[in-house]
Structure 1
Amino acid sequence: MSRPAGRAVLADDGCRLWTLVGGDGPPLVFVHGGPGLWDMAGDLATMFEGHYRTVRWDQRGCGRSQRRGPYTLDRSVADLGAVLDAHAAGPATLLGHSWGAHLALEYTLRHPERVRRLVYVAGTGIDDEDTWKPVYRQRTRDLPGGLDRASVVRQWTAEFPDRAQAATHAEAMATPWFEINRECSVTINAEVARRLRETDLAARCRTLRVPVLIVDGSEDLRPRWAVDSLAAALPDVRRVVLRGASHLPWVEDPDGFSGAVLGDHRR
């Protein structure tokens, strides 16, 4: 299978970041999950290319980007800024998924003038992760370990409640396949967990004037009440829960997902 060639963007420390642009219109930048994974927004780009200039990218050390640290939240925020500098002349819409939702939120809090709108998809909120992670661990306790493709596909299959389609969806997530960057995952997850324990992110969110759309799938293995305090703290927020969808709600309910995002398109 051929892979999109993309274009390299240099971070301010010289790290090469893979990017891919399509469509026409105001910029929409996808911020993928992980950490340690890669962009899987091909379907999303196709969904929105008629309305936006879509920008996909792999975070440093991941996928098609240069495998090079350091792996920190501050570095990730700066890298996202480099992608915006290269591909967004004015304020952009950020669509962040899972860990990418947290990264996009953090960027928006630091640089609200660069963000037209934040779409926060399947994130895990702003509370100490010990409030929700035990529930998640209980729900996933029987999943296999391993970082090889076959093991990860089996893990990802559990993300989809429609068991007839789960394996197909998980295979699509893993195509193309790149080595998972475990160092990136462990390091950034530990830093984010520490910051959530030690800082009052809700107070920062209460000052944000950028409109935020939160999109959840009701069947996500990560409990959706973990996002309640974030929604309560944001001054300009709309929340959409897609019934029957899970952690990748655009896969299971593409019409509901695109309707939610495009319903706020002119904001």
Structure 2
Amino acid sequence: MRLHVKVQGQGFPILCLHGHPGSAQSMTVFTDHLSRRYCTLAPDLRGYGQSRAHEAFAMTDHLNDLTQLLDEEGIAECLVLGWSLGGILAMELALRQPERVKGLILVATAARPWGNHPPISWQDNLYTGVASILNRVQPGQNWVIETFGKRSLYRHLIQQHTPAAYQRLASDALPAYLQTSPHAHRALNQALQQRYNRLDAIAQLPTPSLMLWGECDRHITPESSRETAQHFQNCQSHEYTNVAHLFPWEIPDRVLGDIDHWLGQTFA
């Protein structure tokens, strides 16, 4: 499948992979910054954004699509940055093509992911729907955040309910959610049922890696991210306090600063 991809900047390529639900637009928090010094490629994965899927597919199809994308772009070597599901695909791509993937930046992800999200009530869904609609109309308004946002499922995705984070929810998260296909939901659910575990595999991977996660993440717990970091041969990591799964939208300056520092230190 030919993926829709957003290419920015010039220099050594960084492939930037979004999570579920997500899109290339979700990755602009990284690409708008990194493209000042690198060439960033942010695809809409199969079944997401503008990469329409018209039939069922498996998670392994994402890897075939990404390999085809790199081949078409003439990219022999690259770094891969992945957020959540994108981080899992980044690890799989490095395992499949270690000679091509020269470094990994893994955000809110794990090689043996598990979550501790509480049960979702009808009130959660109601407040989330109202918060999403109102926040889309008036992004980042404090009255929307206080009245609906903090009572919605957003409370499990972010901890610092800032106007900037809610602006990202309006501009990036809601459109991505609406554009995610049923085939993408089904492919992810089928993969989760197989109890994904690649800890032993990544332990054999010498690729330099940076892992970042939030201490309040309930979708992929900090314990599972910490476990993954400990299995890598060559890994630096940061755990951020008082943030959750969408922490790059909560504390972007800190996250980008740590990525810049690691890139300069590792690939100077």
CA offset at residue 221 of structure 1? 2.6
Give the distance between the partners of 1:43 and 1:202, measured in 2 at CA. Answer: 28
For the 8 Å contact 1:216–1:240, the answer to whether it is kept is yes
Give the distance between the partners of 2:90 and 2:184, measured in 1 at CA. Answer: 17
Higher share of residues assigned helix: 2
**Structure 2 portions without partners, runs of 5+:** 137-148
Aligned with residue 111 of structure 2, among 126, 129, 132:
126
- Deviation readout 1:180-235 (Å, 9 max, x if unpaired): 21231122332244052xxx622211110111110112232332112222112111
For the 8 Å contact 1:115–1:210, the answer to whether it is kept is yes
The AA in structure 2 aligned to 1:52 is: Y
CA offset at residue 147 of structure 1? 8.9
Most deviating of 152-161 and 168-177: 152-161
CA offset at residue 236 of structure 1? 0.7
Aligned residues: 243
Alignment of 1:27-176 (within 5 A): 27-34=13-20, 36-39=21-24, 40-87=26-73, 89-123=75-109, 125-127=110-112, 132-133=114-115, 135-138=116-119, 143-144=124-125, 150=133, 157-158=154-155, 159-165=157-163, 167-174=166-173, 176=175
Residue 202 of structure 2: aligned partner = 205
Q: Secondary structure at the match of 2:3?
A: strand
The AA in structure 1 aligned to 2:91 is: L
Residue 144 of structure 2: aligned partner = none
- Deviation readout 1:34-83 (Å, 9 max, x if unpaired): 1x532211232111111210111101122111323442122111111122
For the 8 Å contact 2:19–2:85, the answer to whether it is kept is yes
Q: Secondary structure at the match of 2:124?
A: coil
Normalised by the size of structure 2, how large is the TM-score? 0.80
For the 8 Å contact 1:27–1:88, the answer to whether it is kept is no
Give the distance between the partners of 1:219 and 1:88, measured in 2 at CA. Answer: 40
Alignment of 1:174-253 (within 5 A): 174=173, 176=175, 178-196=178-196, 201-222=198-219, 223-253=221-251
The AA in structure 1 aligned to 2:168 is: H
CA offset at residue 157 of structure 1? 2.9
Q: Secondary structure at the match of 2:180?
A: coil
The AA in structure 2 aligned to 1:115 is: V
Normalised by the size of structure 1, how large is the TM-score? 0.80
**Structure 1 portions without partners, runs of 5+:** 1-14
For the 8 Å contact 2:47–2:180, the answer to whether it is kept is no
CA RMSD of aligned residues (A): 2.7
Q: Aligned pair in 2 of structure 1 residues 78, 184: CA closer, same or farther (>3 Å)? A: same
Q: Aligned pair in 2 of structure 1 residues 103, 189: CA closer, same or farther (>3 Å)? A: farther
Give the distance between the partners of 2:211 and 2:194, measured in 1 at CA. Answer: 24
CA offset at residue 156 of structure 1? 6.1
Give the distance between the partners of 2:175 and 2:230, measured in 1 at CA. Answer: 38
1:24 lines up with 2:10 in the alignment: yes
% same residue: 22
The AA in structure 1 aligned to 2:38 is: Y
For the 8 Å contact 2:2–2:69, the answer to whether it is kept is no
Most deviating of 162-171 and 23-32: 162-171
The AA in structure 1 aligned to 2:84 is: S
Most deviating of 231-240 and 68-77: 68-77
